[in-house]
Amino acid sequence: MKMLSFQFRVVIVLVCACAFSQSAAAAETLSIVKKREHVQCGVSQGLPGFSNPDDKGNWVGMDVDICRAVAAAVFGDSKKVKFTPLSAKERFTALQSGEVDMLARNTTWSMHRDTALGVDFTGVNYYDGQGFMVRKDLGITSSLELDGASLCTNLGTTTELNAADYFRTNNMEYEIVAFEKADEAVAAYNTGRCDAYTTDQSALYAQRLKLTEPSAHVVLPEIISKEPLGPVVRQGDDQWSDIVRWAHFAMVNAEELGVTSKNVDRMKAAKNPSIRRLLGVDGTFGENMGIGNDWAYHIIRTVGNYSETFERNVGKSTPLGISRGVNALWTQGGLQYAPPVR
């Protein structure tokens, strides 16, 4: 996700330049989607907790749930979505060429991507960032105690540079042990070749499962880089961009208002005007986006609120066991904040 070579950037920019003429014609995504009767959603080729297969081969994960939420908003049916697994290299061209309507592919929102590639990010469904994993028996609780540590990491990624910056800023000694592939780095860490393993936190939790004794390792709380992951749409179709943006906001708002997939039917009769507006009992918020007024009701009924999708896919009860951390609601000290439905 961070390893775009220079040549490849050039190719992307050229491709986007050719595709700009098409992106204007590709507006009205909503009517195309409605005609096709399903949302075509670009996802990863497998990332635990975000888009991965279950035993039946169904797609599950946080990114997958955003796609299902959009389908639920448009059709009232979260099953009307098809997934296109995309490699990191082809994801933006696939979006540009109209092969997919949206990307939910653990894509980091960066200025370059937002401004130069002809795409728009609609929000952040997971705040990721680089972190450290160490052995529990080292007794370390903060990455500021890592002075003199050796770090296993991947060769030539921004991960390496971030770690270097972090250690230099905090006047700490360090030694980088870089490997070509993530699997090699994890294996080296597993055999005790280095004190800590560093990469994006969500990946740390996933890699931890591959260690001989996962419970003997701990992911330190600090995040040393910003990797906001979010859905991406083509630039120039504001209506579609609004729908994808508000699909995520609806889930965050639902959590804040205490609406879950279990109580949503009861909540329709609630007196709280915020809940009534969210569930489409009052107002015409869905109509303004060109979809049904009960759009959010269907999202919550079939996919759940933000907390439900988080806990189901990456939360404490899953093998990944990620705590909410910065992804908690703003009312609980996190960063997940949605504008009101008003």
Partner 1 sequence: MAEWTPKPPRPAPASSVGLGAWARRNLFATPGDVALTVLGSIFIIWLGNMLLDWALINASFSGDDRTACLKPEQGACWPFIDAKLGQFIYGRYPEAEIWRVNLVFLFGFAGLVPMLVPSAPLKSFNIAFLLGLYPVFTFIMLTGGLFGLPRVETTDWGGLLVTLVVAVTGIAASLPLGIVLALGRRSRLPVIRYLCIGFIEVFRGVPLITVLFMASVMLPLFLPDGVNFDKLMRCLIGVALFSSAYMAEVVRGGLQAIPKGQYEAAAALGLGYWKTTRLIVLPQALKLVIPGIVNTFIGLFKDTTLVLIVGLFDLLGIVQFHFTDASWATPETHITGYVFAGVVFWSFCFAMSRYSIFMENRLSTGR
Q: Where on the chain is the footprint of partner 1 (CB under 8 A)? A: 15, 18-19, 22, 25-26, 45-49, 52-58, 82-87, 89-90, 93-94, 96-99, 183, 190, 206, 209-212, 318-320
Q: C-beta of 216: minimal distance to partner 1 in Å?
A: 12
Q: C-beta of 282: minimal distance to partner 1 in Å?
A: 40
Q: C-beta of 314: minimal distance to partner 1 in Å?
A: 8
- Distance between CA atoms of 52 and 70, rounded to whole angstroms? 18
Q: C-beta of 33: minimal distance to partner 1 in Å?
A: 14
Q: C-beta of 7: minimal distance to partner 1 in Å?
A: 13
Q: How many CB atoms lie within 10 A of CB 251?
A: 28
Q: Locate all alpha helices (DSSP H) within the chain, ordered by sequence.
A: 6-25, 29-36, 62-75, 91-96, 111-116, 158-169, 182-190, 201-208, 238-257, 264-267, 273-278, 285-288, 295-302, 306-313
- Distance between CA atoms of 208 and 214, rounded to whole angstroms? 5
- Distance between CA atoms of 101 and 99, rounded to whole angstroms? 7
Which residues are CB-contacts of 341 (< 8 A; sequence separation ≥ 6)?
249, 250, 253, 274, 277, 278, 283, 285, 296
> Which is closer to partner 1, CB of 99 or CB of 173?
99
Amino acid at the residue 152:
C
> Which is closer to partner 1, CB of 118 or CB of 123?
118
Which residues are CB-contacts of 7 (< 8 A; sequence separation ≥ 6)?
none
Please give the structure tokens belonging to residue 217.
């390792």
Phi, psi for 109 (deg, rounded to 5): -80, 110
Please give the structure tokens belonging to residue 235.
């630039």
Long-range CB contacts (< 8 A, 24+ apart) of 213-219?
215/136, 216/135, 216/136, 216/137, 217/133, 217/134, 217/135, 217/136, 218/133, 218/134, 218/135, 218/136, 219/131, 219/132, 219/133
Q: C-beta of 281: minimal distance to partner 1 in Å?
A: 37
Q: C-beta of 212: minimal distance to partner 1 in Å?
A: 5
> Which is closer to partner 1, CB of 12 or CB of 338?
12
> Which is closer to partner 1, CB of 191 or CB of 284?
191
> Which is closer to partner 1, CB of 47 or CB of 328?
47
> Which is closer to partner 1, CB of 84 or CB of 261?
84
> Which is closer to partner 1, CB of 61 or CB of 123?
61
- Distance between CA atoms of 155 and 161, rounded to whole angstroms? 10
Q: C-beta of 20: minimal distance to partner 1 in Å?
A: 11
Phi, psi for 126 (deg, rounded to 5): -155, 120
> Which is closer to partner 1, CB of 171 or CB of 317?
317
Q: C-beta of 268: minimal distance to partner 1 in Å?
A: 34
> Which is closer to partner 1, CB of 110 or CB of 318?
318
Structure letter (DSSP) for residue 195: S
